[in-house]
Amino acid sequence: MTDQSPLYNTYARSEFAFDHGEGAWLVDARGERYLDFGGGIAVNALGHAHPHLVAALQEQAAKLWHVSNLYEIPEQTRLAGRLVDATFADRVFFTNSGAEALECAFKTARRYHYAKGNPERWRIISFEGAFHGRTIATIAAGGQPKYLEGFGPKVDGFDQVPFGDLEALKQAISEETAALVIEPIQGEGGIRVVASDFMRALRDLCDRNGLLLILDEVQSGVGRTGRFFAHEWSGIGPDIMAVAKAIGGGFPMGACLATEEAASGMVPGIHGTTYGGNPLAMSAGNAVLDIVLADGFFDGVNDRANRLKQGLASLVDRYPGVFEEVRGQGLMLGLKCVVSNVALVRQLYANHMLTVPAGDNVVRILPPLVITDEEIGVALDRLEAAAAELSQQSE
Ligand code: PLP
């Protein structure tokens, strides 16, 4: 983007402009096809223009776009009920984005302690490398200097400890602590998987200290890791969970899920949103669940993920000058690079494949959950071509 652009200059955009999408492919105005392994950053879980989602939105668009939350929205109640049936949760609040789902999660945790007569318990502990969004509170929770700089004093109430450091976490808990917030797999942070025993230790620590466990599954949720939500791999459940991205299949929406107990402070008038839970978003969300909650869907994701991960592991073995390791769970994968991750993303552009860089010099590999075997083969060929080109350049 040049200085003449009418847009805020906040994104370092590439030169691509896509005209339409078909499944795992994005097509530009000249008809050039790109294999999309970024998926709008883990949003287009069912690929582009999935016929079931298109039909659901078209049907809803002809009926009703928006009504206020002053009225019953039957599709909202239905989607909430389906989420409750399929998860740890008893209650759902719908939002428009991930950051808003986190804001709701933080408010829910603080109100829980307030309603229990402990208003002094309002601080929330997070982990280094976290990303929880770009609002004033979520940049404080994420704690990353690059996102906090220039926005005044960091909002108080968020304490941060090193990733995976249980002792530091125990030290950080005080009489003012209300909750912990963690991504089961850090996305922006570089596809860093939280070990299952660490997840169980967190649950235990929360139970023993009367804290609420908030999971940020904005990126890892809705089938991405081969289970409905990533925390299911560890066998524990949270008290509160933020969801967004894939839940709308590309339509902007998010949700905050909570147990009855954790949500007990959220009484009438205490929180609200104009658009959250509107009929269009709810029709998209219900259509996504029709597919991901169908029998055998997650088994299929795991099969595809195993195939892809094996192929990536073989590339890592064969191109040690380009890749250090493959990591992640299900179809939330990362290639930790030896070369610069941005150089690999660019080389993949040249091979008509789209991926997304992350922290820790990682390239994120986030194909649609419905990727075919043939497309996995194409992706591995293109990754190999890019790796060979980068190897040659560095010789
Ligand atoms: N939490 C996580 C783990 C995310 O990956 C993101 C976005 O990338 C967010 C929160 C913020 O979501 P949104 O951009 O929809 O506000």
pLDDT at 249: 97
For residue 203, the CA-to-ligand 1 centroid distance in Å is 23
Alpha carbons 289 and 52: distance in angstroms, whole number:
11
pLDDT tens-digit readout, 43-93: 999 999 999 999 999 999 999 999 999 999 999 999 999 999 999 999 999
- The sign one gets for the Cα dihedral 139, 144, 148, 153 is positive
135 CA from centroid of ligand 1 (Å):
10
Under 8 Å between Cβ of 297 and 223: yes
Reference 113, options 124, 102, 103; nearest CA is: 124
Average pLDDT of every residue of the chain: 97
* 106, pLDDT greater than 80: yes
* Cα separation, 350 vs 357, whole angstroms: 15
**For 81-101, how does the pLDDT look when each residue is reduced to its tens digit (9 = 90+)?**
999 999 999 999 999 999 999
Mean pLDDT, range 255-261, rounded to an integer: 98
Distance in angstroms (rounded) separating the CA atoms of residues 53 and 318: 40
Confidence of residue 394 (pLDDT cuts 50, 70, 90): confident
Q: What is the pTM of this model?
A: 0.98
Pocket of ligand 1 (CB under 6 A): 41, 97-99, 102, 131-133, 183, 187-188, 216, 218-219, 244
Q: Cα(124)–Cα(281) distance, rounded to whole angstroms?
A: 30
Dist CA 389 CA 215 (whole Å): 40
For residues 284-295, average pLDDT? 98
Ligand 1 mutation target, pool 44, 144, 219, most atoms within 8 A of CB: 219
CA distance 241 to 172: 22
Which percentage of the chain shows pLDDT scores above 90?
97
pLDDT tens-digit profile of 381-390? 999 999 999 9
**132, 222, 251, 332: residue to mutate for ligand 1 pocket, most atoms within 8 A of CB:** 132
Determine contact, residues 204/114, Cβ cutoff 8 Å.
Answer: no
- Return the H-helix or E-strand segment holding 282: helix 279-292
Q: What is the mean pLDDT of residues 132-151?
A: 98
* Pair of tokens at residue 181: 């917030």
Local confidence band at 244 (pLDDT 50, 70, 90 cut-offs): very high
Instruction: Output the CA 218–ligand 1 centroid distance in Å.
Output: 6
Chain-centroid distance of CA 148 in Å reads 20
**Confidence label for 393 from pLDDT (cuts 50, 70 and 90):** confident
Distance 36 CA to ligand 1 centre (A): 19
- Tell me the C-alpha to C-alpha distance, in Å, between residue 22 and each of 34, 300, 332: 10, 20, 21
Q: What average pLDDT does range 227-256 have in this prediction?
A: 98
Task: Please state whether 277 falls in left (phi above 0), alpha (psi between -120 and 50) or beta.
Answer: left
Sequence-distant (6+) residues with CB within 8 A of 85 are none
Segment 307-326, tens digit of pLDDT: 999 999 999 999 999 999 99
Mean pLDDT of 131-149: 98
Structure-block tokens of residue 333: 């994968």
Q: What angle do CA 32, 33, 38 make, to 5 degrees?
A: 130
Distance separating alpha carbons of residues 355 and 38, to the nearest angstrom:
5
Number of helices (H), then strands (E), in the chain: 12, 17
- Compute, in angstroms, the gap from residue 376 CA to the centroid of ligand 1: 26
pLDDT(2) > 60: no
Query: What pLDDT was estimated at residue 3?
Result: 64
10 Å CB burial of residue 70 (0-12, 13-18, 19+) is exposed
Tell me what pLDDT residue 1 has: 45
pLDDT of 33 higher than 50? yes
Nearest-angstrom CA–CA distance, 234 and 254: 23
Q: Does residue 279 register a pLDDT over 80?
A: yes
pLDDT at 296: 98
